[in-house]
């Protein structure tokens, strides 16, 4: 083990964080119930071990150097990891074997995650899953930055170093209000929808990126009346005859009866695609995260009306 690592200790990092949080050595000493001289000595030892100045101190308080900002960021992460370790140990002792942090896009959260999560809880009652909804690009960044263990998305760029396994398949359809010129079509190609005004989703969303790319391949662009951030708003606008909208079929089915919507399948080859489970490396996942990946990937062949989905 390098000598520098041997010289670092959790107490010094904790006191370093306290000085920054309290804005000075004296206030940190009061908060930590320790003599100011002891904190100063700890920080000096930390600077000596790392071979660089971490903060400037004067009458007005303290100011971090660039190196100090780096140390603070890692010290905060170490603190979070320690708290998670303690919490997981407590959970193990009480029969709960850990938490899986998951980032998921809106499409997966509406279509598949609720049913699959119920089944997961029945199979693994000791696994706690913490979900956060994000746009697909944010999911990939979050997994790469260790914000979460697993992501659910369908945008994995070529050259991406993350591991992926298939989760569920989603199929896109055109959604139109009753009385719209396209409402009675049995099927439709994406190119035919470009003659009409669309309701779009937030820029940066995976669906918007796909539709823009497919329109550009045709030498066209979509005409938007408005962009929204939720499927609920999009379907309400379609029902009000503000425009048409392309979205996952299973999402549209949630709103069809209430809003009297027409769902027309897209006949383009790209209209069916897989959502993916995304993670760094399978062998680096915790046991509970591996269980989550294995279970959710096995759900890709489970129909919505199967007995274990009830």
Per-residue pLDDT of the chain (310 residues; tens, 9 = 90+): 355 566 678 888 889 899 888 888 888 889 888 998 999 999 999 998 899 999 988 777 788 999 999 999 988 888 878 877 776 665 555 444 688 999 998 888 888 999 999 999 888 888 889 999 888 888 988 999 989 999 998 866 666 788 999 999 889 999 999 999 999 999 999 999 999 999 998 877 778 888 999 999 999 999 999 999 889 999 999 999 999 999 999 999 989 999 999 999 999 999 998 899 999 999 888 888 999 999 999 988 776 543 333 3
Alpha-carbon gap, residue 16 to 185, rounded angstroms: 67
Determine the topology of domain 92-159+281-309 in CATH: D-Maltodextrin-Binding Protein; domain 2 (3.40.190)
Task: Give domain limits for the chain.
Answer: 3-86, 92-159+281-309, 169-272
What's the CATH number of domain 169-272, 3.20.20.450, 3.10.180.10, 3.40.190.10, 3.40.50.170?
A: 3.40.190.10
Alpha-carbon gap, residue 120 to 26, rounded angstroms: 51
What's the CATH number of domain 3-86, 1.25.40.10, 2.70.170.10, 1.10.10.10, 2.130.10.10?
A: 1.10.10.10
SS3 category, 222? coil
């Amino acid at each position: 083990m390098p000598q520098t690592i041997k010289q670092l200790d959790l107490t010094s990092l904790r006191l370093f964080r306290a000085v920054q949080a309290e804005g000075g050595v004296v206030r940190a000493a009061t908060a930590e119930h320790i003599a100011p001289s002891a904190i100063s000595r700890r920080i000096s030892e930390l600077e000596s071990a790392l071979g660089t100045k971490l903060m400037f101190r004067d009458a007005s308080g303290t100011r971090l150097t660039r190196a100090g900002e780096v140390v603070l960021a890692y010290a905060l992460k170490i603190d979070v990891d320690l708290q998670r370790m303690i919490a997981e140990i407590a959970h193990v002792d009480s029969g709960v074997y850990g938490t899986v942090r998951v980032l998921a896009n809106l499409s997966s959260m509406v279509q598949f995650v609720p049913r699959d999560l119920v089944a997961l809880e029945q199979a693994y009652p000791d696994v706690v899953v913490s979900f956060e909804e994000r746009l697909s690009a944010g999911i990939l960044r979050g997994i790469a930055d260790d914000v979460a263990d697993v992501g659910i998305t369908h945008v994995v760029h070529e050259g991406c170093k993350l591991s992926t396994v298939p989760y569920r398949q989603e199929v896109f359809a055109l959604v139109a209000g009753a009385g719209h010129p396209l409402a009675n079509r049995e099927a439709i190609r994406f190119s035919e929808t470009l003659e009409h005004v669309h309701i779009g989703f937030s820029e940066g969303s995976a669906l918007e990126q796909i539709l823009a790319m497919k329109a550009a391949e045709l030498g066209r662009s979509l005409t938007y009346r408005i962009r929204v951030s939720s499927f609920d708003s999009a379907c309400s606008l379609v029902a009000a005859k503000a425009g048409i909208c392309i979205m996952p079929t299973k999402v549209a089915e949630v709103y069809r009866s209430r809003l009297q919507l027409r769902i027309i399948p897209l006949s383009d080859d790209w209209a069916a695609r897989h959502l993916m489970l995304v993670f760094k490396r399978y062998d680096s996942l915790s046991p509970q995260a591996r269980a989550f990946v294995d279970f959710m990937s096995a759900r890709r062949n489970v129909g919505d009306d199967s007995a274990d989905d009830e």
